[in-house]
Chains A and B, each alone.
Chain A
Amino acid sequence: MVALFALPALVGVVVVLGLLAVAAPLLPQRGIPPATAGLSLLALLLALALVAAGGQSQLLAGSLAIDPLGAVFLLPPAVAGLAVAGGLLGRAAPAALPGFVAASLLVVLAGDARFAVLGVALFATASSDWVVRPAALAGIFLLAAAFATLSLGGGQSFAAMRAVPPDGWRATLVLALTLLGVAPLVGWAPWHRPFLALDATGLPLPVLSPAIGLYLCVRVLADLCGPATPGWWGLPLLLLGAGSAGAGLIAALRAPTFGGILAGLSVQHGGWMLSGLGVAAIARGADLLPLATLALGGTLLHALNYTAFASLASLSTGAAAIGAGSQTLDRLGGLAGRMPVVAIGMLVAGLSLAFLPGSAGFASGWMLLQALFAAPRAGGLALQLVVAAVVAAMALSAGFAAIAVIRLGGVAFLGRPRSPRAAAAEDASLAQRAGIIGMAVLCGLLGLFPGVALRLCGMAQHWVTSAGLDGQGDWTGIRTQIDSPGYGPLGIVIMVGIVLAVIAMLSRTGRLPAAQPVPIWEDGFTAPPPWMPFGDPATQLTPATLTATLPTRPLRLPSMPRVRLEVTWPSVTLRHAPVVVLILAVLLLLLVAGFGPV
């Protein structure tokens, strides 16, 4: 019932946003952000109503359609549009901003091949401010080819494709074309340099691209290709996910600017989502519906959470870059004192970006890891080896994400300023601060009540896996099965709160004296010369030194330095321990494999 009214209203929102984008050169530039924010808010309310009520509806003979899967993916564009446009209130916005939000909504609302390709084309071009890049063009053509292959069976509408799903080589072709086509669009291809343009256009591309890319993958591979896709379809998804988690992270560790780091982290988080979808595909192929539901739930939840905390990170870094006149880390530092609200927003977003507990990112990351941990049940040794490698890659990317976040937030916001301009940074505007506070509250709620957010994805989970929800989420937390302990952030936050309250009480009663600020002690070096009013920059950590000592190959097999036990017993050397371990591993595997069928 809701869907019947919501779909025309949403189409209206898209049309008005599109008109705004077309007429942007004629309109006052300051008028674009409020209009975009208002329309995004309307879209958000409609999407929430759709998610809550469920149901499906279509327009123009099925060319535009909405179903529970689409309803969930309407939330990311609406939230990102609201956050980014809201943060730009009172400022000149890039003309392509409404077009970008409209294109993202259109991708989700499309109900047949033509509108889907149109939406993707608009998304790709609007995200680079209406410039068509060769990589994006290739992506559009590949996706168009995928939809063309799908429509060979029955017709161009999604309903017809679903009725006659592709089989044999055609299904394989669809899989290959979709993955190859989505990769360049969302920065998942190694040759694609992620661009972001906090510096030029201010478009929230890294905020939205993982969600939109994931939507295309879910829609085509899990929905349009029918319920009987083979389990091995999950393998390329898993490998692509692990690969992009690693590649995105390396890009984030190397990038010298806010935009580069955020773009790298977007690729990394997109990789986590893809690997979750891979587990769902494998589990569906093996008829393990509870596991498929778990994996899909983690994937959808991470898409929602990521949009929220990436919007917050984008808002905070945007406000910092505008206030300090640069987004290059080498020119920033000590911004927390000048813009405390922005710094707090960055801290909240950073906890999520680095998968730290209590945050929204940890909750959905926890679910994705649980799905990966359970994935070996779905197949033989080959699959299990792939899963082990993927878990190792994911673990590595989670560990190093903290370093990327420390570069993003720590170097820019803490310590001493590295340039006069940063020392005189202006605080964010009222609109930006309001946007940051609003998004930080949203991220906090998503982190505290992940079960409620997971409920929002319930009908979409059911749509794809046709399996009922097993009470995986409620207000106390999320769990893998109905009676297993799971993850309850509320209890942990209460526990930490009690400890903090005791310490605060001690210091309040005067038992613990307050801290006193003193000049920085430079280890006895002479005071900096007068032309260095912010101290000698060489005495402070730089963004480059933060990653310079990182091993380039974390898993290399080095010769172990000689470690001697201190006692005068016969000395034990651990030289070449890793090599010995490896040889033992190979021998063990050979031994076990020789004994029976594997």
Chain B
Amino acid sequence: MSLAGILALLVHAVLMAGMAVLLAGVLPWAQARLAGRVGPPVLQPLQDWRRLMRKQPVVSEGASALLPAAPTIQFAMVAAAALLVPSFALGMATAPMSDLLVIAGLLGLARFIMALAAIDAGTAPAGLAAIRSIRLAALAEPALLLVIFTIALLTSTTNLDAAVLSFREAIVPGVPLLLAIAGLASVVVAVEAEGDAALTEFSGWHAAAAEAAVALRRVVWLSLTAALLLPGGLALPGGGLVEWTVGLVAWVLKLGVLGLACALVGPSLRRAGQAAVGPLMGAAVLLGLLAVLFLFAAQGLT
């Protein structure tokens, strides 16, 4: 664990938090502009959260200790995942831990805890939201694992940092990787378009924590996609200040493009409703499977 790695991690943590706030404000603004409306101020979420932080939260009578604790746990899980996904530089202090299965698992755990909290609230709408949320998660998981399988076949590791490093250095992103990324993108879009379970069950600073977790999760998904799809620009381990600056600019650009794509597709998917999520996940699973099959067929040639 080098000093540069720790420094990179600290800078990364600040950047992820800042980008989460920024995207949470920019996306609604961009969507409103595209629809021809003026849109809220870009820093509106920050204002909302600051107000919510001062308010006292209320919870259902008879709920267990899980309900008030859930937003905090969710935020901690997503934050841990955020510290594992590289943003501007590889070789952060957390690089040895940044396993793709762990990242997927941490995000899944956050969703699991929120679904339990929704059931704990004991109301019908929260319960329905929980069903939607876990159904989506259960369908997204196979697609995600197949994408990880493809990456493991290409790089023979599931460590995100090592995988991106080999993409950066040796492997040209070919058809299988593009297919896998398309699968990943479907997952990201579906997850992001879907509202979150039990978000309505929380008030006061609980609500702020839950919303912040959702905003941070968006940055995690987008950074993950960016690192795998467009690894160019990412500073290599041992890079200097120049590489870091290049990596930072590249990361902001990549997230801007991907975020805008989400802003474009999100509302239509939300309008298409629940019925669209299942088929989309089916397509994602197929894309992942296709990537794997293509890889096998291509290996058979050589």
Show the binding face of A for B, using Cβ within 8 Å. Answer: 334, 336-337, 340, 343, 351, 354-358, 362, 366, 369-370, 373-374, 376, 380-381, 384-385, 388, 391-392, 394-396, 398-400, 402-403, 405-406, 409-411, 413-416, 484-488, 491-492, 495-496, 499-500, 503-504, 511-523, 535, 538-541, 545-546, 549-551, 554-567, 577-578, 581-582, 584-585, 588-589, 592-593, 595-598
Give the nearest-CB partner of A413 in chain B: B64
> Cβ of A518: which chain B residues have Cβ within 8 Å of it?
58-61
Q: Mask for B45-64, Cβ within 8 A of A = 1, else 0?
A: 00000000111111111111
B121 A578 Cβ-Cβ under 8 A: no
Query: How many angstroms from the CA of A384 to the CA of B153 in the assembled complex?
Result: 11
Give the residue of B61, B96, B142 whose beta carbon is less than 8 angstroms from that of A485: B96
Which of A366, A500, A545 has most chain B Cβ within 10 Å?
A500
> Cβ of A511: which chain B residues have Cβ within 8 Å of it?
53
Query: How many angstroms from the CA of A549 to the CA of B136 in the assembled complex?
Result: 11
A535 B268 Cβ-Cβ under 8 A: no
Query: How many angstroms from the CA of A593 to the CA of B268 in the assembled complex?
Result: 39
Using a CB-CB cutoff of 8 Å, which residues 66-93 of chain B contact chain A?
66, 68, 72-73, 75-77, 79-80, 83
What is the minimal beta-carbon distance from B128 to any residue of chain A, in angstroms?
A: 8
> Cβ of B153: which chain A residues have Cβ within 8 Å of it?
373, 376
> Cβ of B292: which chain A residues have Cβ within 8 Å of it?
388, 391
B interface residues, tally (CB under 8 Å): 107
Show the binding face of B for A, using Cβ within 8 Å. Answer: 31, 34-35, 53-66, 68, 72-73, 75-77, 79-80, 83, 94-99, 101-102, 105-106, 108-109, 112, 115-116, 119-128, 130-131, 134-135, 137-142, 144-146, 148-149, 152-153, 156-159, 161-162, 204-206, 209, 264-265, 267-269, 272-273, 275-276, 278-283, 285-287, 289-290, 292-294, 296-301
Q: Which 3 A-B pairs have the closest CB atoms?
A: A541-B127, A399-B141, A395-B145
Question: With A373-B158, A415-B119 as given contacts, are A402 and B300 in contact (CB-CB < 8 Å)?
Answer: no
Give the residue of B65, B102, B280 whose beta carbon is less than 8 angstroms from that of A487: B102
> Cβ of A410: which chain B residues have Cβ within 8 Å of it?
115-116, 119-120
A514 B56 Cβ-Cβ under 8 A: yes
Q: Name 13 A/B residue pairs within 8 A (Cβ), A-sorted.
A: A357-B102, A395-B144, A396-B141, A488-B97, A513-B205, A520-B121, A538-B124, A549-B135, A554-B282, A563-B265, A566-B264, A578-B279, A585-B290
Give the nearest-CB partner of B79 in chain A: A499
A540 B146 Cβ-Cβ under 8 A: no
Question: With A362-B105, A399-B142, A523-B124 as given contacts, are A503 and B75 in contact (CB-CB < 8 Å)?
Answer: yes
Give the residue of A392, A400, A565, A589 whose beta carbon is less than 8 angstroms from that of B268: A565
A541 B124 Cβ-Cβ under 8 A: yes
Query: How many angstroms from the CA of A467 to the CA of B25 in the assembled complex?
Result: 56
